[in-house]
A and B are shown apart, each in its own frame.
Chain A
């Protein structure tokens, strides 16, 4: 089973083979968690999203046809679920971004890094969901424009615009917080 392709495992799972589904979970839970956590920002939300994504995958296994790579297919599922969750949450407007603590010039690098990470987290949360997802997929999954477009069910040109606006928003917040 460990040598079978993801596509073959999905077909087996569609025939009721839970051992095949278990192998899929084992192989792909890591990056699915990374996307969900970096996008949603909270462990509980991320775990729920990942669980929903895998169960949605299992539900669709009976209809799965390997016309595209499995990872592309699952990217689309996890992306869609994360975006749906984010849209249901109360939006955090840019004016409401909480102030970070004043960085002490005598603080060590870990403290500074922690504050930078907190500022980055706040800046990401302030982005509209589509821009945030494009940034997460580009920077943390190293996906190309075509792959991001496939995951977000849009066009590469739209991804280019999302990234441009997302970077502009991040620059605006982080420079105002002196984190760039």
Chain B
């Protein structure tokens, strides 16, 4: 009876082919000699046949479509927040802003080019600084009282210095 108790604990694993070779051999030797344990083993095999009578109906035809409907709803719920409207993300907003600024800059450059090309300074009223005429030193420095300074005198040297072009092109 003790052996029956020990061997019956192995019957389930024996049924699934999970016993090591040595244990399986000892169990089969016992089963050959024990009618009660053979009856228990047969009951365990009958459980498999009984379980097979429990059939499952096919999946409900609407089950897949319901699952997909829920999946789509979840995807919509998880669309990125913080946008002006659904579908616009923050990086997209920044891209639009940068494009607008670039466009405004290009328009400003084009407008400036057009103004410079088509309107004269007199029409615009803006001051003109000519780089071609020599400055009149006597007018600038009001040095008309030095016109008669003799050559070699200090005044004459001073006037000479003023009238010579400066180094560096100034």
Is the pair A139, B48 in contact by a Cβ cutoff of 8 Å?
yes
Given the known inter-chain contacts A38-B56, A51-B66, please indicate yes or no for A135 contacting B71, CB distance below 8 A. no
* Alpha-carbon separation in the docked complex, A18 to B66 (Å): 14
CA distance A179 to B47 in the complex (A): 9
Is there an interface contact between B71 and A160, defined as CB atoms closer than 8 Å?
no
Partner of A160, one of B18, B52, B64: B18
The interface on chain A, measured as residues whose beta carbon lies within 8 A of the other chain's beta carbons, has a size of 43
Most buried by A among B12, B55, B67: B67
Q: Is the interface of A mostly helix, strand, loop or mixed?
A: helix
Give the residue of A25, A29, A38, A167 whose beta carbon is less than 8 angstroms from that of B54. A38
Nearest chain B CB to A17 CB, angstrom units = 10
The chain B residue sitting closest to A164, CB to CB, is B12
A124-B54 in contact given A138-B16, A174-B47 (Cβ < 8 Å)? yes
Partner of A145, one of B16, B60, B67: B16
CB pair A33 B54 closer than 8 Å:
no
Report the nearest B residue to A114, measured CB to CB. B53
Whether the pair A174, B16 counts as a contact (CB closer than 8 A) is no
Q: How many residues of B contact A (CB 8 A)?
A: 34
Segment among A4-12, A68-76, A82-90, A115-123 that sits at the interface with chain B: A115-123
| Chain A positions near chain B (C-beta within 8 angstroms) | 16, 18, 21-22, 25-26, 29-30, 33-34, 37-38, 43, 47, 50-51, 54-55, 58-59, 113, 116-117, 119-121, 124, 135, 138-140, 145, 160, 163-164, 167-168, 170-171, 174-175, 179-180
- On B, residues with C-beta under 8 Å from A are 9, 11-13, 15-16, 18, 40, 43-44, 46-48, 50-60, 63-64, 66-68, 70-72, 74-75
Closest 4 CB pairs of A and B: A164-B12, A33-B59, A117-B53, A180-B46
Query: What 10 additional pairs, Cβ within 8 angstroms, besides A25-B67, A54-B71?
Result: A18-B72, A22-B64, A25-B68, A29-B59, A38-B54, A116-B53, A117-B54, A139-B48, A145-B18, A164-B11
